[in-house]
Amino acid sequence: MIPMMAVLRVERRQRRNVRLWLPLFLLWLLVLPVLVVALPVAAVISLAYGRNPMRLFAAYWNVLSAIPGSQIEVNGRHGLVHMHVY
């Protein structure tokens, strides 16, 4: 399953905390037309280099499918940034 939602939380020490809900499915709607054009081009290029395009697409799909459930946390001097992808 591709990631559909991300929650970004910014905690600052001396200021108000911020929480943003980012709908990633809207991003996928914008990226889809580009992918429709780019996939055949990538297939032709991979065939020209003697690679199997299905293995390439499967590898990208596996990476994309592994993103949901990811949690990223960055600590800094001025606060904390935490992102959770659903």
- For the chain, give every domain's residue range: 5-85
pLDDT tens for 22-64 read 999 999 999 999 989 999 999 999 999 999 999 989 998 999 8
Q: Which pLDDT belongs to residue 62? A: 93
Angle at 24 between CA 22 and CA 28, to 5 degrees: 155
pTM above 0.85, yes or no: no
How many angstroms from the chain centroid is the CA of residue 18?
21
Helical H segments across 17-73, by residue range: 24-48, 53-66
Angle of helix 24-48 relative to helix 53-66, nearest 10 degrees?
160
Q: Which pLDDT belongs to residue 13? A: 83
**Amino acid identity, position 84:** H
